[in-house]
Amino acid sequence: MTQQVRQEEEKMFQAVVFDMDGLMFDTERMIQRSWDVVGVRMGFGKMGKDIYHTLGLNNAERERYFKDTYGEDFPYLEFRENYRAEVHRDTVENGTPVKKGLYELLEVLREKKLRLAVATSSSYESAARLLEETAVFDYFDAVVTGNMVEHSKPAPDIYEKACTALGVSPEYALALEDSYNGIRSAHAAGMKVIMIPDLLTDSACVDDLLYGKMDSLSEVAEMFRKNGDDHSGQPSCAKQI
């Protein structure tokens, strides 16, 4: 992709859609730790490794994964209740870890008057609580959650719904993601996607779907800041794909 073509594309961005867990907040690691603790407590051993197979899945599909992996009699509801309690305890004691550059990026995008949404596989209750606790809820024009769509990531449903809620065509929207399922979902919806790695760092299996790859949300903020009021300019800090 030439610099001129990329500049023209960036001028067209009208909206940015954020994944939540692992992208805005460092909650995936909290969940992973809780699965280890609760898995041992319930007699299944450390289960944190299973998170790599469930990133981007909604609750129903996550339950299906655990039953397929540990047997149909796996007590998923008990497991979910226990690990959520563990995450809550961690949050009360240590707070919700906010990813580097989140507040900076939200301020830059607000200045640019871009429309913003969250597209998360979490429940609305969980998403709203996190967004409120971290004082970012009011930045967003829409919050679309896993229970609002029929098919979770990697299906395009959640990103399509987010773009519809914003009143923006997917081709004019940028998605920020950390998971393979999320990247596939946004790309299938027709959006440009930037990956900011979290638990998953190797992008080889999705490189052909990416608009770019950056180390943090601060780099995304810098991209928009350098692009000026018309969003033009090559994002010099991006690792181009």
153-188 pLDDT, tens digit each: 999 999 999 999 999 999 999 999 999 999 999 999
Please give the C-alpha separations between residue 222 and each of 70, 109, 154, in angstroms, as whole numbers: 44, 11, 28
Q: Which residues contact 73 (CB under 8 A, 6 or more apart)?
A: none
CB atoms under 10 Å from CB of 20, counted, come to 22
More confident residue, 229 or 176: 176
Architecture of domain 3-25+99-226: 3-Layer(aba) Sandwich (3.40)
> Which three-class secondary structure state does DSSP give residue 204?
coil
Please give the C-alpha separations between residue 57 and each of 153, 169, 184, in angstroms, as whole numbers: 6, 24, 12
Q: Residues 135, 89, 140, CA angle at the centre, nearest 5°?
A: 20
Distance CA 145, CA 55 (A): 14
Q: Does 152 score more than 90 pLDDT? A: no
Segment of 10-14, 29-33, 39-43 carrying the highest mean pLDDT = 39-43
Positive/negative CA dihedral, 139, 142, 157, 122: positive
pLDDT at position 8 is: 54
Q: What confidence tens digit (pLDDT) does each residue in 54-83 have?
A: 987 888 889 999 999 999 999 999 999 999
How much is the average pLDDT of 8-21? 84
pTM confidence score: 0.84
Q: Tell me the pLDDT of the chain averaged across its residues.
A: 90
Of 60, 66, 21, which is closest to residue 42 (Cα–Cα)? 66
